[in-house]
Amino acid sequence: EVQLVESGGGLVKPGGSLRLSCAASGFTFSSYSMNWVRQAPGKGLEWVSSISSSSSYIYYADSVKGRFTISRDNAKNSLYLQMNSLRAEDTAVYYCARDNDIVVVVAAFDYWGQGTLVTVSS
């Protein structure tokens, strides 16, 4: 059974940093591209970042470019999101999600974690 479990969320002050993790199991992690998607309280879904299976291709939403860094450790079956210079508008539930295709332009997010809440507030 495919499982994605996020951790690392919490309360952080504006300008602070936080590192999210996503532990994957039930599939060959090193074969799949992975993603972070967030959802602000009461709002819609927003794609944050994607990383290919071997980390060769990385993409970011303009809203986080230069502040967030996506990475993965295939030996540990883990996905990460390093978030720096956090702002109030980064407050959201952050989900990790798996791509169902190696071609990024056609891929869909076929499995999602339960999410971890990040709150940016003084």
Site of interaction with another protein (CB under 8 A): 35, 37, 44-47, 50, 59-63, 95, 100, 104-115
**Amino acid letter, residue 121:** S
The pair of three-digit structure tokens given for residue 79, joined into one six-digit string: 């996905």
Nearest Cα to Cα of residue 8 among 66, 100, 107, 83: 83
Nearer to another protein, 13 or 89 (CB): 89
The C-alpha atoms of residue 112 and residue 68 are separated, in whole angstroms, by 20
Residue 60 vs 80, nearer CB to another protein: 60
Closest approach, Cβ 75 to another protein, in A, equals 26
- We find the least distance from the C-beta atom of residue 23 to another protein, in angstroms, to be 15
Find the shortest distance in angstroms from Cβ 45 to another protein.
Answer: 5
Complex with another protein: residue 75 or 108, whichever CB lies closer:
108
Residues near 1 by beta carbon (within 8 Å), at least 6 away in sequence: 26
